[in-house]
A = this chain, B = another copy of it.
Amino acid sequence: MTYRTDIEIARDAKKKPIQEIGEKLGIPSDHLLPYGHDKAKVGQEFIDSLDDRPNGKLILVTAINPTPAGEGKTTTTVGLGDGLNRIGKKAAICIREASLGPNFGMKGGAAGGGLAQVVPMEDMNLHFTGDFHAITSAHNLLSAMIDNHIYWGNDLEIDQRRVVWRRVLDMNDRALRDVVTSLGGVANGFPRQSGFDITVASEVMAILCLSSDLKDLQKRLGDMIVAYRRDRTPVYARDIKADGAMTVLLRDAMQPNLVQTLENNPAFVHGGPFANIAHGCNSVIATKTALKLADYVVTEAGFGADLGAEKFMNIKCRKAGLAPDAVVLVATVRAMKMNGGVAKVDLGAENVEAVQSGCPNLGRHIANVKSFGVPVVVAINHFVTDTEAEVQAVKDYVAEQGAEAILCQHWAKGSEGVADLATRVAELADSGVSQFAPLYPDGMPLFEKIETIAKRIYRADEVLANQSVRDQLRAWEDAGYGHLPVCMAKTQYSFSTDPNLRGAPTGHSVPVREVRLSAGAGFIVVICGDIMTMPGLPRVPSAENIMLNDAGEVEGLF
C-alpha cells in the first residue's frame, strides 16, 4: 500500500464553495466575507445576532506530553469533528492559525494530517486572511508611537531604560532578538536597547484571542503596560493614545475565519497565541460563535494537557465563561513507548512492556483533567506500525484509571475511522456529567496559584522563587492585579521543568525564573526555564526548498 503525503491529499480535496460550508451552520452568504472561494470571515453583525441562542456542547482535545514521535492532536481534533458529522451531529471545529515565520525554518505547518485535515492548507500556512499581519501592524504602530512620544518631548516621563514594549515580526530572525534602535543622530531619536519577538508572542495576539468583541479588544489594548517611569509607575498603551488606531487595524482580524475539512465540514481557524508565555488557544470569539451555530464544537489546546488543558480551563474558560462538556486526551502507542524509554529509531518494533511503562504519563493527565470536573476519554491515534497487543495494553491501562480508550483511525480512514470515538464523546457531552470548575479561585494570592498548579498538575513538591519574584507578585496584588490567573511558561516535554524527565515524575521542584504582567490579556506570566520568543532559522532553512512548481503549486512547505 502506498500512502499519499498530506499535501497530496490536501491538493486532491474536493472543496466546496465557502458559502456552502457557511450554509451548513446557517450563516447567510451576505454575512460571510469571502477571501478567495474557500475562506471567509464571519461578519460581526451576524455574530451579534446570535446572542440569544443556546450553546452547543464544548469538547476539548488535549494530549499527553509531546514526544518526537508525534501525537496528532490537531489531526484528532479534525477527525473527531468529521466523525461527529458522520454520525449525524451538527459539529464544527475550532483550531488555531499557523504562524508564518516558523514554516520557513522547519518543514511543517499542516493543519491535521492524512484524511483528517483542514483546507486550503497552503493558504493557511502562508498569509491566510491576514490576521497575523494585522497584529504585527498594530503591535508595531504602538512601538513607533512610544518612541515618537519620547522623541517629541516625552511628556509622559517614560524612563527610556524601562520601555517593556518591544517590536514583532512573523519571521524566525535571531538577529532581531536584541538590537539597539534610534542610532544615527538627533533626527532618529534616543538610542536604546530593545528587540523583536515573533508575532504570535505579542500580547496583542493574546488579547485578540481573549476579547469578546471590538470594545473589549480596545479596552484591553489600552490596559497594556508599555513602559515604566523612574518612579516605577506604569505607562499604558492608552496613555500613548494608540488603542483606537490599533483597534482599527485589528477590526477585520477580530472576525473568525471559516474554512472546511477534507469532508467539507466547517472549521473555524482563528488566532494563535504562544502556548508558553500566553494561553495557546484559538480565539474566544470563534469558540463562542461556533457554540451558537453547532451542537458540538471540538477545539484544541496547545502542547500537552499539563500546559494546554490547564490554561484552557484556568484562563480561557474562566475568562470567557465557557465550560467544557468533555475532554479527549490524545495518546499514541509510539509516544507511550518513548515515555517508556524507547528511542525513536526503535519505535517500529513491538514492545508491550515499554508501552505499559510509559502509560503513567497518560494516567496522570487523565487524573488531572478529571480534577477539573470534566469527563475524559482517551483517543488512541492509530499508527500503521502499532500492534494489537500494544493497543490493548493502552486500553487496559486506561480502564484501570476509570476511563475508556478508543482506537481511532481517522488519519487513514477519515471520519469512518473515528465514528466510535465520536459516538462516545457525544454521549459523554450530552450526559450532563461535567461539573467544570477552574482549579483555583480568582481571589487566591498569586503565589498560591502557582503552587496550586505546580502541586496539583505537575505533582511537584515545591515552587522555588527568590525574594524579588515574590515581592513583584505582591506588588501586583497591591496594584489590583491579584485576581488574575497565572500563565505558566515551562517546557512542554515533561510535567517537570526538565524536558528530559518523561513519564510521571514526582518529588521535583518548579523554579520560577521571572514573572511578567500581561495587563491587557489579563494574566501573570510565570517563567520557569528558558523561553524563546524569537526563534532562529536552522542551518538549512526549509525556505531554501520552498518554491512554486510549474503548475503554480507550492513545493517544500510541508
Contacts and interface: CB of A to CB of B under 8 A. Distances in A.
A144 B548 contact: no
Interface in A506-552: 536-537, 539, 541, 543-548, 552
A64 B516 CA distance: 56
A171 B137 contact: yes
Interface string A126-146: 110010011011001101110
A144 B196 CA distance: 12
Interface in A217-264: 218, 241-242, 244-245, 247-249, 251-252
B174 A178 contact: no
Interface in A178-224: 178-184, 187-189, 193, 195, 214, 218
A35 B44 CA distance: 16
Contact of A242 (B148, B177, B184, B543): B543
Looking at chain A's contact residues, the main secondary structure is: mixed
Nearest to A123: B252
Contact of A104 (B245, B556, B557): B245
A37 interface: yes
B552 A44 contact: yes
Contact of A148 (B137, B147, B541, B547): B541
A218 to B, nearest CB: 8
A231 B139 CA distance: 41
Contacts of A252: 126-127
- Counting contact residues on chain A (CB < 8 A from B), the size range is 35 or more
A151 interface: yes
A187 B523 CA distance: 30
A539 to B, nearest CB: 5
Given A148-B541, A174-B148, A178-B188, A247 B183 contact: no
A554 interface: yes
Contacts of A183: 178-180, 193
Given A130-B130, A183-B180, A249-B126, A545 B244 contact: yes
Given A100-B137, A247-B548, A536 B145 contact: no
A19 to B, nearest CB: 10
Interface of A: 33-37, 44, 100, 104, 126-127, 130, 133-134, 136-137, 140-141, 143-145, 147-148, 151-152, 167, 169-184, 187-189, 193, 195, 214, 218, 241-242, 244-245, 247-249, 251-252, 536-537, 539, 541, 543-548, 552, 554, 556-557
